[in-house]
Amino acid sequence: MESLMIQGTACRCRQFLALCKLRVVSLVVFTAVIGMFLAVPGWPGWNALWAGTLGIALVAGAAAAFNCLIEQKIDAVMARTRARPLPRGELTRTQTLVFAGVVGGAGLYLLNVFVNPLTMWLTLATFVGYAVIYTVVLKPATPQNIVIGGASGAMPPVLGWAAATGEIHHDALLLFLIIFAWTPPHFWALALYRREEYAKAGLPMLPVTHGEAYTRLHVLLYTLLLFAVTMLPVGTGMGGWIYLLGAVLLGGRFIQYGWRLYRQYSDALAKETFRYSIWYLSALFAIMLADHYFRIPV
């Protein structure tokens, strides 16, 4: 009996964790932590590291859970999301709402008490931007949803910077711009090979409203824009030779993917581009961190 109770508890924990979209949250936390380290010449303060990281992770998980709550019916008709706990009936809407409230509230408390009020308010604004403005308002209303809503997804390094310093620096805004420019080609690559599912769900994603060719062109254009944006840290002195070399190589490869999508589209290539985009952002920020501590000025 005790073994069954333990198994049941573990299963319920996995269901709640599934609401948090841990893969997405891990990238959020990673870029936020990089922002903390880039904000200071040495190491961030201990409170910024543990409370800032945990608080941002908890609020990001709560935002993901709230997103699952709002999109329960949409998730049920899409192959990519129909296995989530709410469409499967493993969790109720009330349980999800309470979970999101408790987890998000705990994260905001940690940020306010152990980090600083600025980080708490910025994180709360990010939650509202993603869970409410993007999910409730923009996503079902406009094919530019991911462009406008991408502002929320680009906030993590700014949150990390604020956690480490208590202020927002122009270099933090450059990190914001990089993720903001990265989001459309990243997401539209996914939308291209999932276009039929989005059409079935009634969501006005760009491939659904404007067609595949139009979307492919915009993926290419945004990879070019992203490349230009990633050069800005070099111009401001935030990035040195290590960063410059890494940004050129990674960005050149992303542009190559965009060009191939535009000229020789296939769903397999779109999937490959989507996977590369995730690796690209992680690698770019890791290289930026290495450059920070082993700076070779340009």
Neighbours of 121 (CB within 10 A): 14
Tell me what pLDDT residue 4 has.
Answer: 45
What are the residues whose beta carbons fall under 8 Å from the beta carbon of 9, sequence distance 6 or more? none
Identify the structural domains of the chain with CATH numbers, from first to last: 16-168 (1.10.357.140), 170-298 (1.20.120)
Distance CA 65, CA 63 (A): 5
Mean pLDDT of the chain: 92
Determine the pLDDT at residue 166.
Answer: 95
The residues, ordered by sequence, that sit 6+ positions from 262 with a Cβ below 8 Å of its Cβ are 216, 217, 219, 220
Quote helix, strand, coil % in the chain, to nearest 5.
80, 0, 20
- pLDDT score recorded for residue 227: 98
Tokens of 162: 């604020």
> Which residues in the chain come in under a pLDDT of 70?
1-10
Q: Which residues contact 38 (CB under 8 A, 6 or more apart)?
A: 157, 161, 171, 175, 238, 288, 289, 292
Phi, psi at 43, each rounded to 5°: -115, 145
Q: Residue 195 has what pLDDT? A: 92
Q: How much is the pLDDT for 168?
A: 95
User: What's the CA gap between 41 and 39, in Å, rounded?
Assistant: 7
The whole-number pLDDT of residue 1 equals 52
Give the per-residue pLDDT at 12.
Answer: 74
Residue 145 near residue 139, CB atoms below 8 Å? yes
